[in-house]
Structure 1
């Protein structure tokens, strides 16, 4: 390739221009650095050394000396909120919003920060109003997620549903808890005086639709949400339709066998209505053989005790203990042994224990332990409850309870 003489001129010229530009940038940076007060660098040093109290004091001094440092105000507000000093965070962000010269993008950011302050402080009405103003801004997704939390806390299910639908339309992502919002609406309609049956049906239809959207998967059938089926069974009983109730309860056994413990007692009550409790017991025993569960075991034990007597319940508990040992099963077995009468000829029943007092003591000790283990536990916060919850009472998270007792879980 031939050498071009003009390159001897262009290359040094470009090098010189680059050197000049670098010098200008360095001078500008040094000039800006000189304009920053010493308090700013002290604050940075405190932050780097994990001394937030001293850092806050230093940054406050900077903000007083130079009110134009908008980003520093944002940093101060975040520091206050993280430290739990919500009132100071609110004042910082309110002062920013009162400035008439604040650019629109930073005004939106200040409103977003203020809304978070209100939410953290528990001022739900103010938080709701602030997040509503953000629905038409770049913070819309975050605002809608926050509004969902606010409406959940207020138990305002219609507004929670509207916020979830708006979020889903905005970001095209499922909102899993939307199923429960509709179910909560249905529950409220069912306990109204008198029950609002049409409203309950409409809410459960909407819940089924939300469930299909949530659970849809390629090449896989859509399974209705367990809670929807359970609530449809309850609604059928309100309408005095035990046949439809049984269909929904059996659907849970078929499609979500791990949740059988939540419907076992209801299913036996349903069979008791038409005198087919023996069929219900047989169905649950077949299910228990495939999917062992303490709740199903307990439902079968109590039903056998009522229908066939304590001796029959003892036989079932003993066989179940041999297949699936558990403290709850042992507790029920000892309960049956203590309650079983002796035979008429005075010979102890086959399952009797020689020293009844010892059995009673053993059962007392085991029962105290099973009372502690006979709980559901939240996977998110560890909150323990005697009954199953779809929403944790401790952390308000949805579907964090496994349908198994603490004894059954590997925790």
Structure 2
């Protein structure tokens, strides 16, 4: 295509249009800047100088002078919540909701933020009511997830289950903890006076069904399956069916050997009730040889002392500690020996190590083992002396390994 000289006329025209546009934007920016209160710039200056408290005070003043600045209100409310100043956060978001001219989208946003304020402040009833109002809004999914957390904290398992079902109807998202919700219902039925066998069976059947659904899609952890088997074993025990109880407990030894320590006492009691305590002890010893754990060591050692005497129990302990060195194991060993009632015989079997020597040795070791004699959450690190299915610290499910801290180090 040939170049035409008259096209050069467009060059100065385009330049002039660009200059005018830039000048217009600059003037508009200056006008908008002049309308901003001085407090706004003071707040920015305090932020740049890392003085957050003074910056907050300045921005609060801006919000008072210009109530139309909704974004600033949201920013202040979130900042107050992160700092733990819940009363101020609630006041900011409530002031937004009280505005009659607030658009629907921003009103829903303010309602969502206010619900989170109530939740963090521990005002669960008000948080629940606030989240309920968001069910038909664009915040429905996060509100529903928050409601599930609230129902969990209130141990309202039926409503938690219904909320999970509603969530699964809205999004294609597995929620593995629903198995534990059913287990919690079964646990409640089992501890009732008298225990409610029908409710326990119904809840455990629902737990198995949920486990199959979740397991096919998301690889459900062993803990939920182990818990269901443990509850079925307890139900069988209460119903007077020791064979079925033993079947469920032994299935745990085969499918999840790391949980053997959690069921060893009940399994041993089952064998004792059938007059087969020696067979039960032999089973646990073989289980320990395959998968050693401190909890299982404690049960086997104590039962060996009762059935076969201190000498054989000590021989087992020495071999176990030689293959799996453990201060906790040694501490348990010394504790059991010091609590012995047949002192004369024990003194003879211990040889040159007298009771006073054992007491001194145990007191020295025990100081170092107290911090190791705990289970720990893999998510938040919360430590506890007993095993939890749900962490009391972060509320996560299946975050505890069934092993003591010393075994994990």
Instruction: Give TM-score, length-normalised by structure 2.
Output: 0.90
Q: 1:359 to 1:120 in 2, by over 3 A?
A: closer
Question: How far is 1:106 from its partner?
Answer: 0.2
Measured in 1, the distance between the counterparts of 2:7 and 2:282 equals: 95
User: Counterparts in 2 of 1:119-134, with a 5 A limit?
Assistant: 119-134=119-134
Distance (Å, rounded) in 2 between the aligned partners of 1:204 and 1:4: 86
**Contact 1:234/1:245 (8 A) holds in 2:** yes
Partner of 1:143: 143
Counterpart of 2:79 in structure 1 is 79
- In 2 relative to 1, CA 306–70 (structure 1 residues): closer, same or farther, beyond 3 Å? same
Matched, 1:212 2:212: yes
Whether 1:52 aligns to 2:52 is yes
Summarize the Cα distance change of 1:207–1:7 in structure 2 as closer, same or farther, 3 Å threshold. Answer: farther
CA shift, 1:160, in A, is: 1.3
Alignment partner of 1:200: what SS? helix
Q: Which moved more, 1:358-367 or 1:180-189?
A: 358-367
Taking the aligned partners of 1:5 and 1:278, their CA distance within structure 2 comes to 110
The answer to whether 1:256 aligns with 2:265 is no
CA change 1:4–1:142 in 2 (3 A) is farther
Q: How does 1:172-183 map to 2 (within 5 A)?
A: 172-183=172-183
Worse-matched range after superposition: 327-336 or 357-366: 327-336
CA distance in 1, matches of 2:332, 2:60: 66
Alignment-derived partner of residue 395 in structure 2:
396
Do the aligned partners of residues 62 and 5 (structure 1) sit closer, same or farther apart at CA in structure 2, a change above 3 Å counting?
same
Indicate the RMSD between aligned Cα atoms, in angstroms: 2.7
Task: Work out whether 1:63 is the aligned partner of 2:63.
Answer: yes
Contact 1:317-1:332 within 8 A present in 2 as well: no
Measured after TM superposition, the shift of residue 227 of structure 1 is 1.2
Who is 1:284 aligned against? 284
- Please state how far the C-alpha of 1:355 moved relative to its aligned partner: 4.2
**Mapped pair 1:245 → 2:245:** yes
Shift of 1:308: 2.1
Report the 3-state secondary structure (helix = DSSP H, G, I; strand = E; otherwise coil) of the residue aligned with 2:133.
helix
- Between the two proteins, the alignment pairs up a number of residues equal to 406
Q: Secondary structure at the match of 2:129?
A: helix
| Secondary structure in 2 matching 1:134 | coil
Aligned to 2:369: 370
Q: Which runs of 5+ in 2 are unaligned?
A: none
Unaligned 5+ residue runs, structure 1? none
Match of 1:385 in 2: 384
C-alpha separation between the residues in 1 aligned to 2:198 and 2:90? 45
- Cα offsets for 1:328-360 (capped at 9, x unmatched): 33234445666577779xx944x5235443233
2:110 is aligned to 110
**Aligned residues of 2:124 and 2:150 also touching (Cα < 8 A):** yes
Deviations 1:256-313 (A, max 9, x none): 2211111111111111121222222222222211211000111111222222222221
Residues in 2 aligned to 1:394 and 1:63: alpha-carbon distance in whole angstroms:
37
8 Å CA contact 2:176–2:220 kept in 1: the answer is: no
Do 2:302 and 2:336's aligned partners in 1 also have CA atoms closer than 8 Å? no
What TM-score, normalized to structure 1? 0.90
